[in-house]
Structure 1
Amino acid sequence: MVGHRWLPWNNNPTSGSITVTSAKQDQEVSLDCLGSRKNLSRQRFCPVVGLSALCLLLLVASVALSVLYNNKSDSRPEWKSLLFDYQNVSESYVSLSKANSVLRGDNQVLKEQSAWLDEQARLLNRTSAKLMSVNLALSLESTDLMEQIVNLTSTNLQLTQEHARLVRLTSEQEEEKMNTSRTIEHLVESNQLQEQEGQRLSQINVLLREELLQLRDKNEELLEINDRFQGEIKNQSEQIAALLDDCEEASRRNTELQERLTELQEENQNLSSTLMKERQEAAEREDDRRNETERMEANYRSLDLHCPVVNHKTKERICTKCPDSWRLFENKCYYVSSRKLTWSSSRSWCQTQGGDLLVIDSQPEQDFIFESSQASGQSDTRLWIGLTDAEEEGEWFWVDGSSVTTGVQFWLSRPGVGTEPDDWKLDDPLGEDCGHMDTSEDPLQSWMDGSCKTPYRWICEKNL
């Protein structure tokens, strides 16, 4: 008895309860450790530690029971207590084994769920990438359509400019072909015929306007088709969130959208071709009408400018040196406009009046033109004159073919900024190839170069 007092259950009748309590505490520690699932390494390590601690306890309990059985075989109460403790330990071991099995099963389920979730995430990422690619493709197609519309608009503008050039060339050819020896008496006799022809041209003009309105309606239909296409693209963008839930449905809709897009592109091309053909036909008819109208108007203006009617009953005319609104200086007539046109259109207008854009030969002429422009009372101070270097950059010529370098020059010079002409390309990438006068500057420093497409007022000049 004395030799075995170091064993705790020899001197403490409640030693069995202490052992059981200790085992339960170890079990709780093991369960707490097993319950922590925050990372995979702890999930695998905690069950091993719990089982090791349980085996160690069982080993210690077996050794203690053996020693107690050999030394205290005659002590029945303590033996029953130890046997009770042993049973508790065995039950704890069984419960721990079951808990360990359950935890292993849970761990396996969690691994399978994690693998399934990873697979679903990869599928969603691939689906999202496909949908983003489809959206990008639709955006690119929309951009292409917008570029086609811009190209059509640019082509229309070029056709308009070409039309103006053809009008100018036609006017020049008609002017060259005009018989200068035609007398005023012949013009008076043909006045009635010209009025009838003017009525016929007016009717033709009405028909052409109706055709232009039809062309405009077709253009509006094209714009409406483009708006519907833009609306469909917007609707498809809003449906991307729903397509993430059903990839198969998204693929089907994407195919339908591609077919619809192809149909819209074909319709757009057909409408564009039809519109271009109709515009060309309308332009040709408009050219013929304008040529005829300008020829008739030139005859009227030539007669009315030089010999206006003073008695409408007798149609008596009196010829003057300069027409109304034209001012006489030395041996030429000058006209300062109040409207705005481009350089080429301004020149065409002057040529229909029997003259051309202003050519300045002397300082007195420059002073006269400068004062006349200021006296017109217009707020716009810039006026086109007959200067251009369109043939070769930097080589300036007057519209009569003479070089600017051989006569007087009144180019603008700004201290610290630069001198004109400077061929400024910020407003027009083609540069500045036409000359104009700015009456807000000094009279002897007022010439500037500008873009020929900019509308300014203009100054015409013609001989008596």
Structure 2
Amino acid sequence: MALPNIYTDVNFKNQPFSSGITSDSSSCTISDSSSCTISNSSSALPKKTTIHKSNPGFPTLLLALWIFFLLLAISFSVALITPSSNEDKVWSCCPKNWKPFGSQCYFTSRDSASWSKSEEKCSLRGAHLLVIHSQEEQDFITNSLNPRATYYVGLSDPEGHGQWQWVDQTPYNPNATSWHSDEPSGSTELCVVLSYHPNVKGWGWSVAPCDGDHRLVCEMRQLYL
């Protein structure tokens, strides 16, 4: 006798297949062929996790730029408050064949010319005729002069009224002069020369005609580098 087919439905709910599956809905059908089919309606797969990494180079770059500009600002401030003057300059010099004394340079010429021509010769060298500020300066100059010659200095009386003037506009001080004992003398001799009197006090100032030919001494400030 033939047996009737028996159909049985078995439902399995919430049966995990693995620890990675969160929820399953499975069905199994048993037929006369004794076969069982299990189907999954859904499977929960592990989710891919994305890790966002920060860029450590960007803050480091900002810090480096901040330090750079800070150092730049400090350097600029120091440059503004640092005073500059001739005393801060290390190198000072005179042109070739010029002798230094204090902050000045001196040149002695063997050429002879009138007072105005002598001043012109000095001017072409960027200088002027000698202006004597002290006895020490005069002693330094006369140590290298020929005592048999006379030398123009930058002192004159253009109007002939005793109004002596230095070529560099230095005020004339009658209490700081080195006139020989019989000088100044004459009314037409309006220019001054350095001359040597061996029987008196050595080198001193004498009055001479401005158109006479005498040697000259030029003076200029030292060059600062």
Query: RCO greater where, 1 or 2, for CA within 8 Å and sep 6 or more?
Result: 2
Q: TM-score, normalised by structure 2?
A: 0.53
> Hey, what does 2:212 align to over in structure 1?
454
Q: Deviations over 1:326-375 (max 9, x none)?
A: 1111111101111101000000010110110000001100111111213x
Q: Which has the higher helix share?
A: 1
Q: 1:403, CA displacement in angstroms?
A: 3.3
Amino acid paired to 2:190? D
- Segments of 5+ residues of structure 2 without an aligned counterpart are 1-90
2:127 maps to 1:355: yes
- Note if contact 1:334-1:461 (Cα within 8 Å) is conserved in structure 2: yes
> Hey, what does 2:158 align to over in structure 1?
390
- Note if contact 1:367-1:443 (Cα within 8 Å) is conserved in structure 2: no
- Note if contact 2:190-2:207 (Cα within 8 Å) is conserved in structure 1: yes
Q: Deviations over 1:216-271 (max 9, x none)?
A: xxxxxxxxxxxxxxxxxxxxxxxxxxxxxxxxxxxxxxxxxxxxxxxxxxxxxxxx
- Segments of 5+ residues of structure 1 without an aligned counterpart are 1-318, 414-418, 425-430
Q: How many residues align?
A: 131
> Hey, what does 2:34 align to over in structure 1?
none
> Hey, what does 1:436 align to over in structure 2?
193
2:180 maps to 1:422: no
Query: How does 1:36-435 map onto structure 2 within 5 Å?
Result: 321-374=93-146, 380-405=148-173, 408-413=176-181, 419-423=182-186, 431-435=188-192
What is the SS of the residue equivalent to 1:439? strand
- Note if contact 2:179-2:205 (Cα within 8 Å) is conserved in structure 1: yes
> Hey, what does 1:316 align to over in structure 2?
none
Amino acid paired to 1:437? L
Q: 1:439, CA displacement in angstroms?
A: 2.8
- Note if contact 1:381-1:440 (Cα within 8 Å) is conserved in structure 2: no
2: CA distance between counterparts of 1:390 and 1:423? 14
Q: 1:392, CA displacement in angstroms?
A: 4.4
Q: 1:405, CA displacement in angstroms?
A: 2.6
Amino acid paired to 1:459? V
What percent identity do the matched residue pairs reach?
34
- Note if contact 1:342-1:453 (Cα within 8 Å) is conserved in structure 2: yes
2: CA distance between counterparts of 1:455 and 1:380? 14
Q: TM-score, normalised by structure 1?
A: 0.27
- Following TM superposition, the consecutive aligned residue runs of length 4 or more in structure 1 with deviations greater than 6 angstroms are none
Distance 1:363 1:443, change over 3 A: farther
What is the SS of the residue equivalent to 1:372? coil
Amino acid paired to 1:343? W
Moved more, 387-396 or 398-407: 398-407
Q: 1:404, CA displacement in angstroms?
A: 2.4
1: CA distance between counterparts of 2:201 and 2:114? 23
2: CA distance between counterparts of 1:445 and 1:353? 26
